[in-house]
């Protein structure tokens, strides 16, 4: 099929085809132009925003956390700065490989990898996660040189929290730890999450938790231009962070250390309060633990060891240890008897060594087998006569007893500025009915009279009750916080003492009880050895709390009892009795007798506080020197300082 080709025809067909092709091309270009119109005009805002998002990163600038000082500006918690290496997973490519390559430059321990993996699993993709903390200068320099090889890996200067005094202060200062899921949920609920961008630690315990909002500060924001590797190219604008408040405590670090040392190997707790304002001078819970372990995640083995230890170092005994108050309840019972008119000062009883309820043969024994003979109220406190209080309690009745004692804070939280406090127990028939669905038995009132049975207190409650006695009825809320400084204004503000209740007692009754307590530490009293030769009036009361019940007719013989079943030794005190400056409650777990174990601790702590006298067992380890503070504005100014000042000057001055 040969075709005749007319060149003219052929050329026309070529032209037509070319026009068609050209037309199609033109149409396609128009299509492109429409696409450009769509992207660059209609969708411009959208893409503009995306480009800005690409380009501009809002980098949170975490504030530096407030420092915690004791009353003499001794640092209890502070920060130091160190370099970390952090990886942004979304920008780092293959993580394993990146880490392997990094490990050629800086040491990366298997633990670092484990922690990284754990945090990676918990994190969001765009956050940077530390792979190595505390880089040495050499390592930092080596990474800086090799930085270009590691997109998505950055060296950051981070602040680390440190507790220079360690173990003895863990229960007061607490610690910060990584923000966990629960913390995150709480922060989001409280609308604080934004302020925690860039911060990865939060107060978990103690003051660190209680004053978290103050200590944390306000996060700043830096607007930076970043390249696709996430590296900041330049800073566009910056809202600087505002550091957290520095807080200053009533606590005296040295006093606390003195008290702690005095416990020796015993477990227990000591609370020292300033009766003039409720300031907490010392809050010891032995054993303690090193809070520094918790800051960057404690390892499982160490945690288990702490948590499973029979010594329970993680429990703050001052607030969460509940013990029967034993005989330390007697001064309050005595005052109750007088105030409620159940007893008069001169009323005496004959103590045969036991007490029986009418119509019962059950003997409630006195600690002294043969009894104390004739006992009046004052003597009942001095010699700690049980029989006197068995009878008194029975006459008073549990309702009236609970009603009176609860004004001293028994069975109520002290509301100290720490979390997790337990309220102890001041039992009533109503409580028992609710709790056990059982009626109240008269015998239960009898044993409550000597602080046994259902009655439970924390060392903090005992201290608050004793402070109330020392203050003639004024109940202060115990406070650790004395002052705080807002770094933005550099203004120092003081925490005002808070009066919870002001009771009015007959001064005669108060004087009688106080005199009895002073006599406790004098010859003939249960703490006469501990109280020997005090140059001040030392009012105290011993107590011994049973850990296990002793059968009828059996006797408690200390040497035959398992060490952990021995009685708890208790002692409460205030001094000087005529112008109290320090109130102490001591509890020594399984310490045996209050007079022989607990009272000497209180005596020596009081000696130190009032006289500046260091006990012999105390080998001084100087707390870290306070940071230089401007003199006149320092919260230290005019404060009681036990060591260099003479006793007389102390007793006269120092009031605030």
Partner 1 sequence: MIPQLLRQFFRHLDGPLIGLLALLLLASVSVVFSASGENGDRLYSHLSNIGVALAAMLLVSHIPPQRLMQFALPVYVIGILLLLGVALFGVLVNGSRRWLDLGITRIQPSELMRLALPMMLAWFFHYKQETLRGRDFFFAVLMLLIPVAFIARQPDLGTSLLIAASGFYVLFLAGLSWKVIAGAAIAVGSALPLVWNYLLHDYQRQRVMTLIDPAADPLGAGYHIIQATIAVGSGGVAGKGWMMGTQTHLDFLPERSTDFIFAVFSEEFGLIGNLFLLLLYAAIIWRGLQLAAGAPSLFGRLLSGAIVLTFFTYAFVNMGMVSGILPVVGVPLPLVSYGGTSMLTVLVGFGIVMSSATHKKLVKT
In the complex, the smallest distance separating the C-beta of residue 28 from partner 1, rounded to whole angstroms, is 5
Binding segment (CB under 8 A) for partner 1, from list 25-33, 291-299, 382-390, 567-575: 25-33
Residue in 43, 302, 307, 356 binding partner 1, rule: CB under 8 A: 43
Q: Is 15 a residue that touches partner 1 (CB under 8 A)?
A: yes
Q: Is 186 a residue that touches partner 1 (CB under 8 A)?
A: no
DSSP-assigned states of every residue in 520-537: HTSTTSTTTTTTTT-SS-
In the complex, the smallest distance separating the C-beta of residue 100 from partner 1, rounded to whole angstroms, is 21
Q: 244: which 2 tokens?
A: 């957290």
- Lay out the site mask for partner 1 across 61-100 (x = CB under 8 A, - = otherwise): -----------------------------x----------
How far is residue 382 from each of residues 119, 517, 519, 525, measured CA to CA in Å?
Answer: 60, 7, 6, 5
Binding segment (CB under 8 A) for partner 1, from list 23-31, 126-134, 441-449, 522-530: 23-31
321, 562, 259, 293 alpha-carbon torsion, rounded to 10° = -70
Query: Does residue 327 have an active-site annotation?
Result: yes
Q: Is 147 a residue that touches partner 1 (CB under 8 A)?
A: no
Cβ proximity to partner 1, 51 vs 649, nearer residue? 51
Q: How far is 636 from 532, CA to CA, in rounded Å?
A: 33
Q: Contact 560/554 with Cβ under 8 angstroms?
A: no
Q: What is the helix (H) or strand (E) element at residue 500, kind and residue range?
A: strand 499-502
The residue among 333, 312, 268 whose CA lies nearest residue 592 is 268
Q: Which of 83, 128, 269, 327 is catalytic?
A: 327
Q: Is 25 a residue that touches partner 1 (CB under 8 A)?
A: yes
Cβ proximity to partner 1, 21 vs 109, nearer residue? 21
Q: How far is 411 from 458, CA to CA, in rounded Å?
A: 9
Q: Is 486 a residue that touches partner 1 (CB under 8 A)?
A: no
Q: How far is 426 from 413, CA to CA, in rounded Å?
A: 11
Q: 366: which 2 tokens?
A: 């006195």
Spell out a b/e string for 213-231, using b for 16 or more CB atoms within 10 Å of the CB, else e.
Answer: ebbbbebbbbebebeeebb
Cβ proximity to partner 1, 228 vs 560, nearer residue? 228
Q: Using CB atoms within 10 A of its CB, is residue 139 exposed (0-12), middle (13-18) or buried (19+)?
A: middle
Binding segment (CB under 8 A) for partner 1, from list 20-28, 130-138, 358-366, 534-542: 20-28
Q: Is 227 a residue that touches partner 1 (CB under 8 A)?
A: yes
Residue in 6, 37, 80, 501 binding partner 1, rule: CB under 8 A: 37
In the complex, the smallest distance separating the C-beta of residue 307 from partner 1, rounded to whole angstroms, is 42
Q: Is 646 a residue that touches partner 1 (CB under 8 A)?
A: no
Q: Is 46 a residue that touches partner 1 (CB under 8 A)?
A: yes
Binding segment (CB under 8 A) for partner 1, from list 43-51, 77-85, 295-303, 503-511: 43-51
Cβ proximity to partner 1, 49 vs 655, nearer residue? 49
In the complex, the smallest distance separating the C-beta of residue 124 from partner 1, rounded to whole angstroms, is 15
Q: 342: which 2 tokens?
A: 């159940």
Q: Is 14 a residue that touches partner 1 (CB under 8 A)?
A: yes
The residues facing 348 across adjacent strands are 376
Q: Which residues contact 512 (CB under 8 A, 6 or more apart)?
A: 334, 338, 345, 377, 378
Q: Which residues contact 233 (CB under 8 A, 6 or more apart)?
A: 224, 225, 226, 227
Q: How far is 313 from 323, CA to CA, in rounded Å?
A: 17
Q: Is 54 a residue that touches partner 1 (CB under 8 A)?
A: yes
Binding segment (CB under 8 A) for partner 1, from list 34-42, 278-286, 318-326, 481-489: 34-42
Q: Is 229 a residue that touches partner 1 (CB under 8 A)?
A: yes
In the complex, the smallest distance separating the C-beta of residue 7 from partner 1, rounded to whole angstroms, is 9
Q: Which residues contact 139 (CB under 8 A, 6 or more apart)?
A: 105, 106, 107, 132
Active site residues: 327
Q: Which spans of this chain sit near partner 1 (rule: CB under 8 A)?
A: 1-3, 5, 10, 13-15, 17-18, 21-22, 25-26, 28-29, 32-33, 35-37, 39-41, 43-44, 46-48, 50-52, 54-55, 90, 225-229, 233
């Amino acid at each position: 099929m040969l075709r005749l080709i007319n060149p003219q025809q052929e050329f026309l067909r070529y032209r037509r085809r070319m026009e068609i092709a050209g037309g199609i091309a033109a149409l396609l270009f128009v299509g492109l132009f429409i696409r450009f119109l769509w992207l660059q005009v209609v969708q411009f805002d959208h893409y503009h925003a995306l480009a800005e998002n690409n380009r501009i990163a809002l980098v949170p600038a975490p504030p530096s956390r407030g420092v915690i000082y004791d009353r003499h500006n001794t640092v209890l918690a502070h920060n130091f700065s160190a370099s970390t290496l952090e990886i942004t997973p979304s920008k780092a490519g293959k993580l394993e490989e990146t880490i392997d390559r990094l490990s050629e430059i800086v040491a990366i321990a298997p633990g670092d990898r484990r922690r990284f993996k754990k945090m990676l699993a918990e994190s969001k993709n765009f956050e940077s996660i530390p792979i190595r903390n505390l880089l040495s200068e050499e390592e930092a320099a080596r990474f800086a040189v090799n930085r270009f090889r590691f997109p998505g890996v950055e060296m950051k200067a981070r602040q680390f929290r440190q507790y220079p005094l360690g173990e003895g202060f863990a229960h007061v200062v607490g610690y910060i730890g990584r923000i966990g899921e629960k913390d995150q949920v709480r922060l989001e609920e409280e609308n604080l999450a934004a302020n925690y961008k860039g911060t990865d630690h939060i107060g978990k315990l103690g003051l660190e938790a209680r004053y978290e909002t103050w200590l944390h500060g306000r996060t700043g924001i830096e607007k930076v231009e970043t390249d696709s590797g996430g590296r900041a190219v330049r800073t566009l604008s910056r809202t600087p962070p505002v550091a957290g408040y520095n807080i200053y405590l009533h606590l005296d670090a040295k006093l606390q250390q003195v008290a702690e040392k005095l416990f020796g190997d015993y477990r227990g707790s000591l609370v020292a309060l300033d009766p003039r304002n409720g300031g907490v001078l010392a809050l010891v819970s032995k054993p303690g633990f090193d809070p520094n372990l918790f800051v960057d995640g404690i390892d499982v083995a160490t945690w288990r060891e702490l948590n499973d230890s029979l010594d329970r170092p993680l429990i703050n005994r001052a607030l969460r240890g509940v013990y029967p108050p034993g005989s330390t309840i007697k001064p309050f019972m005595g005052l109750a008897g007088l105030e409620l008119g159940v007893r008069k000062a001169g009323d005496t009883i004959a103590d045969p060594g036991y007490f029986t309820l009418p119509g019962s043969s059950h003997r409630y024994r006195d600690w002294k087998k043969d009894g104390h003979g004739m006992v009046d109220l004052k003597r009942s406190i001095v010699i700690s006569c049980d029989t006197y209080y068995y009878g008194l309690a029975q006459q008073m009745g549990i309702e009236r007893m609970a009603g009176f004692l609860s004004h001293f804070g028994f069975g109520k939280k002290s509301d100290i500025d720490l979390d997790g406090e337990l309220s102890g127990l001041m039992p009533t028939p109503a409580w028992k009915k609710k709790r056990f669905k059982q009626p109240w038995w008269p015998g239960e009132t009898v044993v409550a009279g000597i602080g046994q049975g259902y009655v439970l207190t924390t060392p903090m409650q005992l201290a608050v009750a004793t402070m109330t006695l020392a203050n003639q009825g004024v109940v202060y809320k115990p406070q650790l916080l004395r002052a705080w400084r807002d770094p933005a204004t550099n203004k120092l503000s003081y925490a005002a003492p808070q009066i919870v209740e002001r009771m009015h007692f007959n001064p005669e009754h108060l004087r009688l009880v106080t005199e009895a307590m002073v006599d406790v530490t004098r010859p003939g009293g249960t703490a006469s050895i501990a109280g020997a030769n005090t140059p001040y009036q030392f009012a105290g009361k011993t107590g011994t709390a049973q850990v296990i019940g002793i059968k009828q007719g059996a006797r408690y013989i200390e040497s035959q009892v398992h060490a952990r079943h021995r009685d708890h030794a208790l002692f409460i005190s205030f001094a000087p009795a005529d112008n109290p400056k320090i109130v102490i409650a001591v509890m020594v777990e399984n310490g045996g007798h209050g007079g022989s174990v607990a009272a000497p601790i209180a005596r020596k702590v009081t000696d130190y506080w009032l006289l500046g006298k260091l006990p012999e067992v105390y080998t001084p380890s100087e707390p870290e020197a306070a940071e230089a503070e401007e003199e006149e504005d320092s919260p230290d100014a005019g404060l009681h300082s036990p060591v260099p000042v003479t006793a007389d000057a102390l007793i006269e001055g120092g009031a605030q």
